[in-house]
């Protein structure tokens, strides 16, 4: 295993190893390797600074009676 894979696999084992059997830990290590392989494919795509995530954050404000103008300050 390379260092990033090893580091992350160790993190999983430290956090969740008590839930896992030995053969399951071996599978978890393989899965971490797959995840890093995925990540490398993403990291190899060069994007300009202004390319934003394709999801829109919308500020939220629940409409109140003040917004509707029904209540006025004296």
Partner 1 sequence: MSETPIFKSVRELGLSIKSKDISPVEITKHFLDRLEKYGPEYNSVVTITADLALKQAKFAENEIVKGKYKGPLHGIPYGAKDLLATSGGIPTTWGAKLFENQTFSYDAAVVSKLRKSGAVLIAKLAMVELAGGMGYRQPNASITGPCKSPWDKNTWAGGSSSGSGSAVGCGLVPFAIGSETWGSILSPANNCGISGLRPTYGRVSRYGAMALSWTLDKLGPLALSADDCGLILEAIAGKDHRDPSSSNRKYIYNKKVCRKNKLGIIKGVLDSMDEQVQSNFVTSVKYLENKFEITEIDVPDLPYEEVTRTIMLAESSSAFEEFTEKGLARHLTAPEDRYGPYARTTVLAKDYIKALRIRGIMAHQLNDIMSEFDALIAPTRNTPASPIDDEFRGSITGSSRDIMGAAGNALGLPSVSVPNGFTPENLPTGIQFMGRAFQENKILSIAADFQEESDWHRQHPAELLPKTEP
* Residues forming the site for partner 1 (CB under 8 A): 8-9, 11-12, 15-16, 18-20, 24-25, 27-28, 31-32, 34-35, 37-39, 41-45, 47, 51-55
Q: What is the nearest approach in angstroms of partner 1 to the Cβ of residue 52? A: 7
Q: Quick one: 41 or 71, whose CB is closer to partner 1?
A: 41
Separation CA 10–CA 17 (nearest Å) = 9
Q: Quick one: 3 or 19, whose CB is closer to partner 1?
A: 19
| Beta carbons of 8 and 36 less than 8 angstroms apart | yes
CB atoms within 10 A of CB 8: 17
């Amino acid at each position: 295993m390379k260092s990033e894979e090893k580091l992350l696999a160790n993190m999983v084992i430290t956090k969740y190893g008590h839930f896992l059997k030995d053969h399951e830990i071996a599978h978890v290590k393989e899965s971490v390797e797959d995840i890093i392989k995925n990540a490398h494919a993403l990291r190899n795509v060069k994007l300009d600074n202004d390319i934003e995530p394709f999801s829109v954050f919308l500020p939220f404000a629940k409409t109140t009676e003040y917004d509707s103008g029904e209540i006025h300050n004296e």
